[in-house]
Amino acid sequence: MTKQLLRSIDLRGQQLTLAQLRRAVPRAAADDTAGVESRVREIIAAVRERGAQTLRELAAKFDGVEQAEVRVPEAALEQALKELDPAIREALEESIKRAKLVAERQRPEDVAVQVARGARVTLRWQPVGRVGLYVPGGLAVYPSSVVMNVVPALAAGVSSIALASPPQKEFGGLPHPTILAAAALLGVTEVYAMGGAQAIAAFAYGVDSIELEPVDLITGPGNAYVATAKRLVKGMVGIDSEAGPTEIAVLADHTASAALVAADLISQAEHDPAAAAVLVTPSVELAEAVQAELRKQLATTKHQERVGQGLEGEQSAVVLVDSLDQGLAVVDAYAAEHLEVITEDAAAIAARVRNAGAIFIGASSPVSLGDYCAGSNHVLPTSGTAAFSSGLGVQTFLRGIQLIDYDRAALAQVAEHIVTLARAEDLPAHGDAVTARFREDSGESFGEV
Ligand SMILES: NC(=O)c1ccc[n+]([C@@H]2O[C@H](COP(=O)([O-])OP(=O)(O)OC[C@H]3O[C@@H](n4cnc5c(N)ncnc54)[C@H](O)[C@@H]3O)[C@@H](O)[C@H]2O)c1
Ligand SMILES: N[C@H](CO)Cc1c[nH]c[nH+]1
Ligand SMILES: [Zn+2]
């Protein structure tokens, strides 16, 4: 019998609760994360204690780089942009143009609500002051992630942007020149050659000796070390979603092309041996044809080794279901980073999906389109966190500040209610603070009510 790359999970004929579905869908074992977590805690503590010295030691250990400078000189950014291949520049410019169009239109408007006469509550969207953007650079080079991080930050009006990407041995300990060129193209000048959990810790706590000031918010994708570090510093700084190793789920029926489904699964397994590729289908014929296509396409794909590891890992599978209705329950329980819907009337099926980082509708909207040039953002929640968090966007870099503006008459209208509720909570001083405003000796001149 031919060996299948994706293991098979057969849910046909089973009525499963949400908890059972969550256990049934493929995901890497949780204890793997625990191993990463203890190493990441040590790295964060070392960066806090010894700053740039730790950054240099870890650059030597994980990136094979003897680092002279952690901060990338501005001349290197300019040089990289000057030497950028014109075709890559053109592609980056198209990607930036589309991402900008979407991010600028998605910026929420301030909302002022007249609650009563003389009583107004406004929600004012205020950009975060300083952000640290992470751009991965271990197994692949990600200038597209420079675009996805920087464009919404600029659209939100963030005034201080720092960017980090791992140092590369073949480029003298600087990040890959395409990363530097993309940063320069977008006008980012504060760039650091640092990667992994140590970069996240440096952003969160700052590093005095290299004049790296702490940031308020850290965004960007990365491997399990980066994603875990973001989770651990959360609370002290803000983070976007947990954007760890890539996941693709495809919900497909008999109308889908097995060759295209296999190509899409391979495209995302290409990121990382820990990447997940999941096909959910009621069609046994499609499942078998996709397995055959995967074997065929794996033989010629460039990053065969890590693609094979990703497909054969416990995090990947083909899930057989009775119907698209059951398939929808499975993809909702899985809450994929990327979900492709390739079925008859794909838009109607996609409209019923509740949990996914991004949904790609129909055969002409593959994940690769969203990775580079759709105008949508490719920094998306992984590990099931799409059930409660969103992908990166202009809103990630904004906070809503409430403005409360009542005149005296408007305050008088609710004064009694405030006093009553304050007493009910045994917090009478709250009520006193209101009644004091209506005493003649309050010292405040309110004019006529
Ligand atoms: N979810 C998303 O939005 C999204 C988007 C793009 C990429 N990604 C994911 O980003 C990841 C990129 O990963 P990558 O590895 O290529 O680059 P990366 O920059 O995320 O990680 C490289 C760094 O990991 C650290 N590291 C490596 N081995 C380590 C070890 N044993 N212990 C501690 N630290 C170690 C090193 O510091 C190294 O610089 C992939 O998993 C990809 O799927 C996710
Ligand atoms: N698919 C990745 C998001 O998980 C993003 C990416 C960047 N470059 C290629 N792909
Ligand atoms: Zn990708």
What's 269-322 look like in SS3?
A: HCCCCCCEEEEEECCHHHHHHHHHHHHHHHCCCCCHHHHHHHHHCCCCEEEECC
**Ligand sitting nearest the alpha carbon of 62:** 1
The pLDDT assigned to 444 comes to: 64
8 Å CB contact between 341 and 351: no
- Sheet of 398-406: strand order equals 111-116, 119-127, 398-406
- Give the residue ranges of the annotated binding site for substrate: 246, 268, 271, 338, 371, 425, 430
* Domain co-membership, 103 together with 231: yes
* Domain co-membership, 294 together with 252: yes
- The Å distance, Cα 357 to ligand 2 centre, comes to 13
246 Cβ below 6 A of ligand 2: yes
The pLDDT assigned to 8 comes to: 97
The protein residue with its alpha carbon nearest to ligand 1, atom 23, reads 196
* Domain co-membership, 194 together with 117: yes
* Domain co-membership, 117 together with 153: yes
* Domain co-membership, 370 together with 412: no
Asked, for residue 349, whether it belongs to a domain, the answer is yes
- The Å distance, Cα 91 to ligand 2 centre, comes to 15
* Domain co-membership, 413 together with 339: no
Q: Which residues, 6 or more positions from 70, have their beta carbon under 8 angstroms from its beta carbon? A: 52, 55, 56, 192, 193, 194, 207, 210, 212
Q: What is the C-alpha separation between 197 and 23, in angstroms, rounded?
A: 29
- The Å distance, Cα 17 to ligand 1 centre, comes to 34
The pLDDT assigned to 3 comes to: 83
* Domain co-membership, 229 together with 355: no
Q: What is the C-alpha separation between 298 and 122, in angstroms, rounded?
A: 55
360 Cβ below 6 A of ligand 2: no
Asked, for residue 419, whether it belongs to a domain, the answer is yes
223 Cβ below 6 A of ligand 2: no
337 Cβ below 6 A of ligand 1: yes
* Spans of the chain, pLDDT less than 70: 1, 29-34, 444-449
How many other CB atoms are there within 10 angstroms of residue 305's CB atom?
A: 11
Asked, for residue 254, whether it belongs to a domain, the answer is yes
8 Å CB contact between 192 and 71: yes
* Domain co-membership, 291 together with 433: no
Q: What is the C-alpha separation between 429 and 445, in angstroms, rounded?
A: 22
Using the structure block, give the residue that is written with the tokens 């197994």: 139
Q: What is the C-alpha separation between 334 and 243, in angstroms, rounded?
A: 15
Asked, for residue 12, whether it belongs to a domain, the answer is no
8 Å CB contact between 224 and 28: no
Tens of pLDDT, residue by residue over 327-341, are: 999 999 999 999 999
383 Cβ below 6 A of ligand 2: no
* Domain co-membership, 219 together with 255: no
Q: What is the C-alpha separation between 270 and 31, in angstroms, rounded?
A: 24
Number of domains in the chain: 3
**Ligand sitting nearest the alpha carbon of 275:** 1
* Domain co-membership, 248 together with 235: no
275 Cβ below 6 A of ligand 1: yes
Q: What is the C-alpha separation between 310 and 303, in angstroms, rounded?
A: 11
The pLDDT assigned to 394 comes to: 98
Structure tokens at 180: 């530097």
- Minimum-distance ligand 1 atom for the alpha carbon of 63: 39
Name the residue of 58, 223, 309 whose CB sits within 8 Å of the most ligand 1 atoms, as the mutation to test its pocket.
223
The pLDDT assigned to 67 comes to: 87
Structural domain that includes position 296: 244-390
- Give the residue ranges of the annotated binding site: 134, 198, 223, 246, 268, 271, 338, 371, 425, 430
Q: What is the C-alpha separation between 418 and 290, in angstroms, rounded?
A: 65
Structure tokens at 114: 């007249």
304 burial class (0-12, 13-18, 19+ CB within 10 angstroms)? Answer: middle
ipTM greater than cut 0.85: yes
27 burial class (0-12, 13-18, 19+ CB within 10 angstroms)? Answer: middle
Among 215, 240, 265, where does a domain finish? 240
Name the residue of 92, 219, 242, 246 whose CB sits within 8 Å of the most ligand 2 atoms, as the mutation to test its pocket.
246
Among 240, 260, 294, where does a domain finish? 240
Comparing CA positions, the residue from 214, 179, 216 lying closest to residue 199 is 214
- Give the residue ranges of the annotated binding site for NAD(+): 134, 198, 223
- The Å distance, Cα 227 to ligand 1 centre, comes to 8
The pLDDT assigned to 449 comes to: 44
The pLDDT assigned to 34 comes to: 64
- Minimum-distance ligand 2 atom for the alpha carbon of 379: 3
**Ligand sitting nearest the alpha carbon of 381:** 1
* Domain co-membership, 112 together with 235: yes
Among 222, 240, 258, where does a domain finish? 240
Q: What is the C-alpha separation between 173 and 73, in angstroms, rounded?
A: 12
253 Cβ below 6 A of ligand 1: no
Asked, for residue 448, whether it belongs to a domain, the answer is no
The pLDDT assigned to 292 comes to: 98
- The Å distance, Cα 342 to ligand 1 centre, comes to 30
Asked, for residue 1, whether it belongs to a domain, the answer is no
Comparing CA positions, the residue from 445, 417, 333 lying closest to residue 115 is 417
* Domain co-membership, 234 together with 284: no
- Give the residue ranges of the annotated binding site for Zn(2+): 268, 271, 371, 430
Asked, for residue 396, whether it belongs to a domain, the answer is no
- The Å distance, Cα 223 to ligand 1 centre, comes to 3
142 Cβ below 6 A of ligand 2: yes
Could you give the residue numbers annotated as active site? 337-338
For 1-24, b where at least 16 C-beta lie within 10 A, e where not — what string? Answer: eeebbbeebebeeeeeeeeebbeb
> Domain holding 302: CATH number?
3.40.50.1980
The protein residue with its alpha carbon nearest to ligand 1, atom 15, reads 138
- The Å distance, Cα 398 to ligand 3 centre, comes to 26
- Minimum-distance ligand 1 atom for the alpha carbon of 380: 3
The pLDDT assigned to 68 comes to: 80
Asked, for residue 214, whether it belongs to a domain, the answer is yes
Q: What is the C-alpha separation between 322 and 340, in angstroms, rounded?
A: 19
The protein residue with its alpha carbon nearest to ligand 2, atom 9, reads 371
